[in-house]
Structure 1
Amino acid sequence: MKIKSPTFDIIALFSSLICAVHCAAAPIVLSFSSLSSLHFLHSPLIEWLFIGLGVVFVFVTLWPSYKKVHHNARTLLIAALGFGIIALGRLDFSETWEVINTVFGAIMVSVAHFINWRLLRFRGGHKH
């Protein structure tokens, strides 16, 4: 797999941040009766779609960057920890437990992509 551009890291970073905002805001937004038609946004399908997209971005950006450019496992470890925290949030303790863990995990995945982007940018991994 050839690394073409750190653009995928930027896309992955923002998708993880959107996931974090979605998970934090969905319970609050859905509590307003006039917005109850948006309940589909708080569905397991949407949540698993974000998680699946995050995993795809790890294999498209973090892994090839680690193997071929910077050899810095920190990005992979931070992303793995982030996904582990998201998995902990899936345990059915309470909605607050799920929101806190999912938001924190998604932010960690975003941080991993940001670090990867910086490593690529400053170590010559950005090729046109």
Structure 2
Amino acid sequence: MNRINWDAWGVATSLACAIHCAILPLLLTSLPVFGINIIENEPFEYFMIFLAFAIGSYSLWHGFKKHHHSLMPWALFAAGIILLIAKQVWHNYQFWILPFAVIFIIAAHLLNYRFCRVHNHAHADDCDHSTPV
């Protein structure tokens, strides 16, 4: 039986994180040299909102379906996503709208995590996978 060496995984992921943290700023700052502008780029912003929606929905679905069956995290998450879209529509007010969008989305995930942790059935160990950070 093969055992997983968690220390080796920890070292590998730490190394990958260090490389990511060193290269990502260089990559992002060199994008304009290649004619790619991600700042004030509407298609990129909408793509990121869609990506946040997809990942967040999967996370909340897992908690809802397997653990707590509460719609409250979904309601908070939906409010946050709607505010992210509103930030794009009313761009002049983005600095007023964005903090509330972020607060709602974070609150949804924290509530989902809390609801998963307090359930009483047998598969409590897999709740930690329901809220990616």
Question: What TM-score, normalized to structure 2?
Answer: 0.56
Q: After superposition, give the CA deviation of every residue in 1:52-93 in whole Å (9 maximum; x if it has no partner).
A: 221112321112321231011100000011111122222245
The answer for the alignment partner of 1:40 in structure 2 is 37
The residue that corresponds to 1:25 in the other structure is: none
Higher RCO, 1 vs 2 (CA within 8 Å, ≥6 residues apart): 1
Is the aligned partner of 1:54 residue 2:52? yes
Indicate if the aligned counterparts of 2:68 and 2:116 stay in contact, CA closer than 8 A: yes
In structure 1, the residue matched to 2:74 is 76
Other-structure match for 1:110: 106
Query: Structure 2: which 5+ residue stretches go unaligned?
Result: 1-31, 127-133
Cα shift readout 1:11-64 (whole Å, capped 9, x = no counterpart): xxxxxxxxxxxxxxxxxxxxxxxxxx6x93423344223312211123211123
Pairwise CA distance, 1:118: 1.2
Quote the Cα distance in structure 1 between the aligned partners of 2:116 and 2:104: 18
For structure 1, the residue ranges without an aligned partner over 5 or more in a row are 1-36
RMSD: 2.5
Distance 1:40 1:77 in 2: 33
1:91 matches 2:94: no
Residue of structure 1 equivalent to 2:16: none
Q: Secondary structure at the match of 1:40?
A: coil
- Secondary structure at 2:124 match in 1: coil
The answer to whether the Cα contact below 8 Å between 2:49 and 2:85 also exists between their aligned partners in 1 is no
User: Do the aligned partners of 2:73 and 2:112 also contact (CA within 8 Å) in 1?
Assistant: yes
Number of corresponding residues:
90
Instruction: Name which of structure 1's ranges 63-72 and 112-121 shifts more when overlaid on structure 2.
Output: 63-72
Give the whole-Å Cα distance in 1 for the aligned partners of 2:65 and 2:89.
33
